[in-house]
Amino acid sequence: MKITFYGHASLGIEVGGKHIIVDPYISANPNAAHIDIDTLKADYILVTHAHGDHILDVEAIAKRTNAVIVSNAEIAGYYSQKGFQSHPMNHGGSWNFDFGKLKYVNAIHSSSFPDGSYGGNPGGFVIEGEHKNVYIAGDTALSMDMKLIPMRTKLDLAILPIGDNFTMDVEDAIIASDFLDCDKILGYHYDTFGYIEIDHEESIRKFFNKGKDLMLLEIGSSIEL
């Protein structure tokens, strides 16, 4: 499994021979100016919630690639009505896709489209690939529900928001990693706006002091599990 960071909460995941894009907010992010969305491969687009900083490039990528948009029922329905392929899910449900098993799990946040229309309830995703398992938290507060995830799935990586203000901060993300029984963390949802700027060295040190590994990737960089 290969995971590429495209800035903010945007990810590319290659697993089972398939390409997945998560929450594409790239073209308007000045930090990701070197990423050309027209070169990105996508068989699926996972959307955690409807905020503009998570769906900005969904339609452009889906129109070019014919990707299936996977999200909650309301977001999937929104894109289906626009003529895009979609797969609706809801909290606690899972589906066996050709890249692996995908489960839609709880997140504590809000969800509305930029025009104010209803975006359903926010969520995160657990991907169980052939060899590796990953949790993508989406935008969320720390939640006791995170303790449920390792009861079903042994995680190899947890992707957690750490920017504070709109989501968990670093300290809460450390607690989340305890709940998730996962000491390998990829941080995201930080630095894009003034509200969510972080001290990189201090954040990494705080995780290290708890015996955990926080990775903060350069935009466009990848890790392999």
pLDDT at 102 (0 to 100): 98
For tokens 């996508």, the residue is: 42
Query: What integer best gives the mean pLDDT of the chain?
Result: 98
pLDDT at 196 (0 to 100): 98
pLDDT at 209 (0 to 100): 98
In the predicted model, residues of the chain with pLDDT beneath 70 are: none
pLDDT at 84 (0 to 100): 98
pLDDT at 191 (0 to 100): 98
Structural domains of the chain, ranges and CATH numbers in brackets = 2-217 (3.60.15.10)
**Per-residue pLDDT tens for 116-133?**
999 999 999 999 998 999
pLDDT at 18 (0 to 100): 98
**Per-residue pLDDT tens for 121-180?**
999 999 999 899 999 999 999 999 999 999 999 999 999 999 999 999 999 999 999 999
